[in-house]
Structure 1
């Protein structure tokens, strides 16, 4: 009998997820906890695991589709089971109704032998169908080549592909509906699209139809990057969440931004000295590492910057720990993972954890728990060659500190003008719970530690 698996709440309070890829196909036999698909929420990419032992009867959606929580995503054929929609426990549940482990990889205990499902052989299905080239203009819509040993039927259903592949097909003028995918489960890949485009390109070397149309629409003027004059991109996952968070913060929390330019020559020299120590040689020590340590020390003296505004409860919640957020540009967009209990870490531990967090963010493998619970955030605009900015506070926090580029410039030093290493700090804080005096004191404390790192021994 058929059993419908609805998209579960991933334990993040989100309402939808984008389907990135299927790991199975209709007809496959799967076991409990086999990986079925990858879905992307506003916080993380999550592997969706099978809650049943059975056979895949139907896939509800194609890669790139946005699926609402509670909507059907997969139908299973389970011998002896009654037909019904099956809700799945939230990610926070410890077990399924029958005592088995949760269905989301990364949210529960691992199961020995769990992994990718084994494919069941299906009669009449070729092992690896060749991609079908794009149809020529004179071709009939029904004249689609059929791989040996198989059959082909044109339907109104779009072939499965990812948004980047569909965009590439549009840019190259390839009708993706006429391609047979060579990827797993018949997914149309980038190679399928480029191969079809090569087959359709005129041999004479004359400009392609897409280029001609682009130039004609522009009146012969070249567009940026040779792309169409206008392009559309769906607002999804991370971009949608970022837009909502930044809009809420900007129009809810009254922002005040203060700036402080600091001579950080002694901090730069300290980093150079510390890097020579045997226990630091393999670590990546940067100005961000020192600023992170300085911020944690300054928050000890100005806890107002580490508090949270609870308007509904009519209270200000002071958090006597620092979960230090680090704004990071990742392949998925802007993310703000945080280092839990950063206040308890020494310089070496901070360097190790920052490097690990940065690597995980760049790989796109951040977990939801790494993206929640932050209390104060740092954003390093200096890596882009920028000196200062007016950063927007991460919702639920009281402040954010932007770190500018370290520049060598003339500076007054011991009553003389000398070339020094200088950095600008930009602090935005929520004026509902942080007064100007408190914000200024915090910024001055951070600057004092960076200007004279030895002061940390005396002041903190």
Structure 2
């Protein structure tokens, strides 16, 4: 164990993970209580609805407490770890000599010590942290002293106060229901649970998914039934199904065949986003077949000249950015409240990637400023991170246009759903030998189907058709791209 001298304990909280994500599940702790951590060293791996994220701690020192067991869901702003910062000497006794802490199930802490009254400015500066940003959060100093945890509340597990959650009959909460996550609202609605009758365990009484699940388990164990349940419309899950998180309303047949798969995690996030796109965006699709023979030859020649190999998707991305420069209407978004079309100056190009966890859309930042070699390298980096589950929320947000190469699945065409809130998506089918009229004669050529799904609010068919025709011309004659750069 390391010993922290002339230091103090700082509390690091779960940071803002971006794009409306309000909670994350602890997948794996990367440190133990008593470990020495460096500034910006990852301390925990969490899973959001977007990605698996390793969360770095901005403080260096000795870990004096962890909050939350693996599998626990925490809201943004909940404590993750406390770190005794200051000079580290030896490998001995910080766990014993550091600030007092409790011994809850999650290794939680009772109270963090106030900084010594006479602490030197140099020591204070060391305790300020790195100031680095994960996604939209900075390093800030935690309060010098935190309230001690009541022994009857499992705060150290990251779901403090769940025991105080109430079910029907316990009395409503005054004022608006403190819930941020739509997933929590849907879970309660599917199980006919009134959120006003729960006491949230999150910051400022925020109701978490753990609170809803606890209430459902308690209702099942106590035999509590709502009026709808008594009418046979809804069956409350038993304790075993409640603990596994398999909550959903049942069909009319009480023992219907089939397997129920909860829409949560990446699958749930994809479902929500696609549903929103269909609800809000009046989309239309146009498509064209193109002769990709010359593009394939050009790529072969580029890769034969030495240097890093150029991927086909990088060439298609380069064509996309050139087309968006000519048709900027498609690199935009719609502000529905202001009733304005916002045309964007930079192209952040998303691309669909299928992983074991589901479909994700990593984003290549400033794709318009990258050449084919740079695009190839960035596509490779993001694809590898996606397959390994290492994409950050920052890698998955902020796209302005999406390239969907569904040809890798062996299909010729598709009508993609726009990645909300973008305005368009280019789909690329497989490139296969087909009979084609070339220079007045029938020949076997490498043919690809291109499709463009676009938001009809931002442009009409003429603009969309012009964009797609330009892309097809570049595919058929790569020299067209060179003339317009």
Report the TM-score, using the length of structure 2 for normalisation: 0.60
**Following the alignment from structure 1 to structure 2, what is the Cα–Cα distance between the partners of residues 356 and 55?**
32
CA contact (8 A) 1:293 1:347 kept: yes
Matched, 1:256 2:284: yes
CA contact (8 A) 1:290 1:450 kept: no
Matched, 1:318 2:346: no
CA distances 1:311-358 after superposition (whole Å, capped 9, x unpaired) = 112321111221111111123322211222212222233223322332
**Following the alignment from structure 1 to structure 2, what is the Cα–Cα distance between the partners of residues 426 and 295?**
12
Indicate the residue corresponding to 2:68 in structure 1. Answer: 60
Indicate the residue corresponding to 1:47 in structure 2. Answer: 54
Unmatched runs of 5 consecutive residues or more in structure 2: 1-7, 84-94, 102-108, 114-123, 140-256
Aligned pairs (5 A) from 1:402-421: 402-421=427-446
Report the CA distance shift for 1:56/1:240 in structure 2 as closer, same or farther (over 3 A): farther
Indicate the residue corresponding to 1:364 in structure 2. Answer: 389
CA RMSD of aligned residues (A): 3.4
From 380, 383, 391, give the equivalent of 2:416. 391
From 83, 87, 101, give the equivalent of 2:130. 101
Matched, 1:431 2:441: no
| Number of equivalenced pairs | 329
Aligned pairs (5 A) from 1:130-141: none
Report the CA distance shift for 1:450/1:52 in structure 2 as closer, same or farther (over 3 A): closer
Indicate the residue corresponding to 1:13 in structure 2. Answer: 20
Unmatched runs of 5 consecutive residues or more in structure 1: 87-94, 111-228
**Following the alignment from structure 2 to structure 1, what is the Cα–Cα distance between the partners of residues 137 and 78?**
23
Indicate the residue corresponding to 1:79 in structure 2. Answer: 99
**Following the alignment from structure 2 to structure 1, what is the Cα–Cα distance between the partners of residues 418 and 424?**
6
Q: CA deviation at 1:408?
A: 0.4
**Following the alignment from structure 1 to structure 2, what is the Cα–Cα distance between the partners of residues 438 and 107?**
36
Report the TM-score, using the length of structure 1 for normalisation: 0.63
CA distances 1:83-115 after superposition (whole Å, capped 9, x unpaired) = 5699xxxxxxxx9995222587799999xxxxx
Aligned pairs (5 A) from 1:270-419: 270-279=298-307, 282-286=308-312, 288-419=313-444
CA contact (8 A) 1:45 1:365 kept: yes
**Following the alignment from structure 1 to structure 2, what is the Cα–Cα distance between the partners of residues 378 and 31?**
40
Matched, 1:443 2:471: no
**Following the alignment from structure 1 to structure 2, what is the Cα–Cα distance between the partners of residues 3 and 84?**
11
Tell me the secondary structure at the aligned position of residue 278 of structure 1. coil
**Following the alignment from structure 1 to structure 2, what is the Cα–Cα distance between the partners of residues 386 and 313?**
40
Q: CA deviation at 1:3?
A: 8.8
**Following the alignment from structure 1 to structure 2, what is the Cα–Cα distance between the partners of residues 54 and 292?**
46
